[in-house]
With several copies, the nearest count.
Chain A
Amino acid sequence: MSRHIAEVVENIEIACKIYKMTIISNQVAQSAYPGQFIHISIPHDESLLLRRPISINRVNRNNNQVDIIYQVVGKGTKILSGLEKGAELDILGPLGKGFWIPKGTKKIYIVGGGCGVAPVRFIGERWDYLDITSFLGFRGKPWAYQIDEFERFSRKVFVSSDDGTIGYKGSIISLLDKHLSVENPDLVMACGPVPMIQALQKTVLKYDIPCQISLEERMGCGVGGCLVCSCAIGSKDKWDYKKVCTDGPVFWSEEVILDGESETKC
């Protein structure tokens, strides 16, 4: 929770238009936990005012390196992708309320879709003593990344793609559904595009499995002051707008009300 300057150590394209950037930030490396994000000021172009929220993919507490993974979708991420080793980034972080492990949790399923694969990797890195099974969905092979990293901490990794070019052809949630019909983990933890999250919500409800999901919403301050990052949390009859930046981005699945019109990109 601080504003500071982080140095870029590496910035490489790891899949189609998807970049992994490693920065040095002891503040983030030492205190971040899975599901949290950093809020990045875009350098060079003053016409872009807002910071960009990007989740933490991994931290290394020994050398203070922090990895983030981002897809180039607009002007801000385009500029980020052009930064070279030695560049300086003005960041805020770590921010947000991330994933947490309720008492007694032993067996978890990790579910990631597209860019949502990046943040959930941190779960496995940090809590590798749990019994982890991972479900990763991609558009296709050119967009897939870090499957090997998940293999390191997962009992098993299931992969699917929309076009069948890697793993099963079809939605990762139908794959998850099959597994839930035979085995119950203590907890599901997920991040991904809105349609995937909506399918997930139905599935975990059906099997009555506790599930934490990480949401995305357009942000301003990132620190809880401007109220622009609202998402509807509660039940259909009784809900409130909560802040994705400080109340989330991680919420209990059954409390998240998605209207289906929210934007997604990957």
Chain B
Amino acid sequence: MENLKLNVNIAGVSFKNPIIAASGTFGFGVEYKEYIDLNHLGGISVTGLTLEPRKGNPPPRIAETPSGILNSVGLQNPGVDYFIDSILPKLKQYDTNIIANINGNTLDEYCHMATRLQQIDIDMLELNLSCPNVKQGGVSFGTDPEMVYSITKAVKEHSHQPLIVKLTPNVTDITEIAIAAQKGGGDAISLVNTFLGMAIDVKTRRPVLGNITGGLSGPAIKPLALRMVWQVSRAVEIPIIGMGGIMTGEDVVEFLLAGATAVSIGTANLVTPDSMVKILYDFKTYMHNNKVSSIDELIGGLIVKMPT
């Protein structure tokens, strides 16, 4: 299994393998260092950052649903400055790509954050236009193609690092949004973020989550995420980081076949802290058993006979 080509290139950044920790599910990475060797990861997208520190939403913040989880963390984080000063130095000791996931309430805030991170030694920026737990005027930015276009464009002007645009799946036509991100200058697309959902406790007759609604992730959404990755891969030229319910090496293969160049692992980290190492191992085993020597053979390799 040692001669497999696993590395991929996303917007000029080389990833030693296609496994990236999904934002918000892996803290700042360092929380997991006793369970997993961070050097083995392709990359880490850190917890969603905001300009100022944020407390996040009231508990309970998690509910278990069939093969899925709902979360309503609401971007609790210590703010971008604290990240740069106190966390990044620790993280830089590891040999893995660092992606800063940025979140704003206004276009200005996004640009401000990009500017603040411009001179900082991170590998990529991830523009999160999709958190379902934080709303601006009731509608999240990511559902409107024009908004996506203009925020992407503006942030691009303020950033030095390659820019990933992370899309919300809670839209009628995901390709329209992806095309807007590409047009705005996004260098890659990551999808999907969580689907807006809800759980009710029939004993108390109340929502389980303190925030009433939350974002659904995990295997339950895998078929939906996979479909979106497939649709978007046929609509845009820029690379895709696919995610949504990946728990096994074979799930990784499914996303690559559908057109993703790399994948992110989210919920699996909440289930077991060393999931990503296991998933990478299983992925290599799949390649080995199926005589796939290079990951490039899998990316976009779905064999389809279009229905007539």
Interface residues, chain A, with chain B CB atoms under 8 Å away: 1-3, 41, 46-51, 90, 92, 217-221, 223-231, 240-241, 246, 259, 261-263
Tell me whether A230 and B76 are in contact (CB under 8 A): yes
Tell me whether A241 and B55 are in contact (CB under 8 A): yes
**CB closest residue in chain A, given B217:** A49
Tell me whether B61 and A227 are in contact (CB under 8 A): yes
Of B21-29, B85-93, B102-110, B150-158, the one contacting chain A is: B21-29
B202 to chain A, nearest CB (A): 12
> A218 vs B10: C-alpha distance in the bound complex, in angstroms?
37
**Quick one: given A220-B62, A225-B27, A228-B73, are A50 and B55 in contact (CB under 8 Å)?**
no
Tell me whether A47 and B305 are in contact (CB under 8 A): no
Of B11-19, B141-149, B264-272, the one contacting chain A is: B264-272
Q: Which residues of A contact B31 (CB under 8 A)?
A: 223-225, 246
Q: A48-B64, A228-B71, A230-B56 are in contact. List 20 more A-B contacts (CB 8 A).
A: A41-B271, A46-B219, A49-B64, A50-B62, A51-B272, A92-B273, A218-B63, A221-B25, A221-B270, A224-B27, A224-B31, A225-B26, A225-B27, A225-B273, A226-B27, A227-B27, A227-B56, A228-B60, A228-B61, A228-B270
**CB closest residue in chain A, given B274:** A3
In the A-B complex, list the 3 residue pairs whose CB atoms are closest, starting with the nearest. Answer: A225-B27, A220-B270, A228-B62
Q: Which residues of B contact A262 (CB under 8 A)?
A: 59-60
Q: Which residues of A contact B64 (CB under 8 A)?
A: 48-50
> A232 vs B26: C-alpha distance in the bound complex, in angstroms?
22
> A219 vs B69: C-alpha distance in the bound complex, in angstroms?
11
Tell me whether A49 and B73 are in contact (CB under 8 A): no
Interface residues, chain B, with chain A CB atoms under 8 Å away: 24-27, 31-32, 34-35, 47, 55-56, 58-64, 66-69, 71, 73, 76, 201, 204, 218-219, 267, 269-274, 305
> A37 vs B28: C-alpha distance in the bound complex, in angstroms?
23
Tell me whether A47 and B62 are in contact (CB under 8 A): no
> A3 vs B58: C-alpha distance in the bound complex, in angstroms?
29
Q: Which residues of B contact A226 (CB under 8 A)?
A: 24-25, 27, 62, 71, 73, 269-270
Tell me whether A47 and B273 are in contact (CB under 8 A): no
Q: Which residues of B contact A46 (CB under 8 A)?
A: 66-67, 219
Tell me whether A220 and B55 are in contact (CB under 8 A): no
Q: Which residues of B contact A246 (CB under 8 A)?
A: 31
Q: Which residues of A contact B218 (CB under 8 A)?
A: 49
Q: Which residues of A contact B71 (CB under 8 A)?
A: 220, 226, 228
User: Can you list 17 A-B contacts with CB-CB less than 8 angstroms, sorted by A residue number?
Assistant: A2-B35, A41-B271, A48-B64, A49-B64, A49-B69, A49-B218, A218-B59, A218-B61, A219-B62, A220-B270, A225-B26, A225-B270, A226-B25, A227-B61, A228-B59, A231-B59, A263-B201
Interface secondary structure of B, over-half rule: loop
Tell me whether B73 and A227 are in contact (CB under 8 A): yes
Tell me whether B219 and A227 are in contact (CB under 8 A): no
> A261 vs B209: C-alpha distance in the bound complex, in angstroms?
11
Tell me whether A227 and B76 are in contact (CB under 8 A): yes
> A252 vs B157: C-alpha distance in the bound complex, in angstroms?
48
Q: Which residues of A contact B58 (CB under 8 A)?
A: 259
User: Which residue in A1, A217, A240 is a CB contact (below 8 Å) of B34?
Assistant: A1
> A231 vs B210: C-alpha distance in the bound complex, in angstroms?
12
Q: Which residues of A contact B273 (CB under 8 A)?
A: 3, 92, 221, 223, 225
Tell me whether B59 and A49 are in contact (CB under 8 A): no
Tell me whether A218 and B271 are in contact (CB under 8 A): no
Q: Which residues of B contact A263 (CB under 8 A)?
A: 60, 201, 204
Tell me whether A51 and B66 are in contact (CB under 8 A): no
Which of B68, B201, B270, B305 is most buried by chain A, counting CB atoms within 10 A of its CB?
B270
Tell me whether B274 and A49 are in contact (CB under 8 A): no
Q: Which residues of B contact A240 (CB under 8 A)?
A: 55
Tell me whether B25 and A225 are in contact (CB under 8 A): yes
B271 to chain A, nearest CB (A): 5
> A254 vs B61: C-alpha distance in the bound complex, in angstroms?
23
Tell me whether B34 and A47 are in contact (CB under 8 A): no
**CB closest residue in chain B, given A231:** B59
A76 to chain B, nearest CB (A): 8
**CB closest residue in chain A, given B206:** A261
Which of B64, B66, B68, B204 is most buried by chain A, counting CB atoms within 10 A of its CB?
B64
**Quick one: given A230-B76, A262-B59, are A50 and B27 in contact (CB under 8 Å)?**
no
